Amino acid sequence: MIRTYLDNAATSWPKPPAVYQAVDHYQREVGAAVGRGVYGEAIAAQEIVEHARRAVAQWIGAREARQIAFALNGTDALNIALHGALAEGGHVVTTLAEHNSVLRPLTTLEEQGRIEVTRIGCDAAGVVDPDAIRRALRPTTRVVAVVHASNVTGALQPAAEIGAVARAHGALFLLDAAQTVGEIPFNVEALNVDLLAAPGHKGLLGPLGTGFLYIRPGVEQQIGPLRQGGTGTHSDRDRQPDEMPEKYEAGNLNVPGIAGLGAGIRWLAVQGVAALRQRAIARTGMLIDGLSSIKGIRIYGPHAPEARVAVVSITLAGYDPQELAATLDAAFRVQVRAGLHCAPLMHRSLGTLATGGTVRFSLGPLNTDEDVRVAISAVAEVAAQASVV
């Protein structure tokens, strides 16, 4: 039975062939570390990393590639931003829509007595009101941290408006772009972003173990490094360099992963972000319309596909989410995510926390219309059997 993979919000699969080829080429033909030698392969490794850094910067609309620091993953990038910005304490405004990659660092700092946190609610579709952010600001507000699109409801937040509110107040605006970078047109300056964290293995189609943190020029002076260690630069000093991006890139970089990330972005660039977005909207609309016609299904988040990314969460009356997901895989090889999706406050807001969360379908650029039809048919058959029982 053919596998229908619809869990791209967790990690994209399959990758474009060029991604596999780039990783294999590095592993077999290059193999050297970055910044640790002047021989040919070490220089080639450096070129791979810097090419990927420029590709990330161009994709998100950053002026300078050096403002991109590679991280272990999106969670690591968020931790660098939060722990660095809040080293001296302060007040944080965030939302109930956040992933645990934001919730847990903030809760840790809060329990240590180092910060205070205000968590803003959202409407029934999972959208946050910028005015609610504005009303929550205090003189001590240091960071406004918001997820760009919920990994549960898919709802896109009004990031530019929230960023403008934060900037007018003098707070840093941290945007978690885990579900948006790679799918929608992106410009950090238009969004008023000071800090942007994202994984490389989701919308950007790179391998697992990749991510990055964008830091607006000048803001790095306010963000201390999370780790210290070798960078291949200023090796005569026992202090971490202050320069970007070495300030945040202690230890050997994941060059094979970064090579694949660069290849993923190049593939996306050839496709064109506008075209990719339109295809995602069309297939998301197709999925929502098809699932909406099935008795017993409830869909969460905005109905309009233009107001969300290609993430659709559902519940089916009479079915536990884990049971439904397991049935879809076992009987139809349709692979989706079930549970709380590491966003417990979002599920509490939706009323799905106590019932085990939702079943989440998430599309990627390599999914097809046929994948969507297969998924709808599979859910319809399960629902029909449930109604008979």
Residue 256: cis peptide before it, omega within 30 degrees of 0: no
Side-chain-side CA neighbours of 233 within 13 Å: the count stands at: 14
Q: How far apart are CA 166 and CA 163, in angstroms?
A: 5
Percentage of residues of the chain with pLDDT beyond 90: 89
Q: Locate 369 and state its tokens.
A: 């219309």
Range with lowest mean pLDDT among 168-172, 174-178, 180-184, 232-236: 232-236
Query: Residue 326: CB partners within 8 Å, gap ≥ 6?
Result: 338
pLDDT at 387: 63
Query: Residue 79: CB partners within 8 Å, gap ≥ 6?
Result: 101, 105, 226
Q: How far apart are CA 180 and CA 95, in angstroms?
A: 17
- pLDDT bin (cut points 50, 70, 90) of residue 120 is very high
Domains, the chain, ranges and CATH? 17-270 (3.40.640.10), 272-388 (3.90.1150.10)
- pLDDT bin (cut points 50, 70, 90) of residue 235 is low
CA dihedral (350, 351, 356, 358) in degrees, to 10, reads: -30
173-221 pLDDT, tens digit each: 999 999 999 999 999 999 999 999 999 999 999 999 999 999 999 999 9
Q: How far apart are CA 58 and CA 37, in angstroms?
A: 28
Specify whether the CB–CB gap between 157 and 309 falls below 8 A.
no
Q: Is it the case that residue 314 has pLDDT exceeding 60?
A: yes
Q: What is the dihedral sign for C-alpha 69, 344, 193, 140? A: negative
Mean pLDDT of the residues in the chain: 94
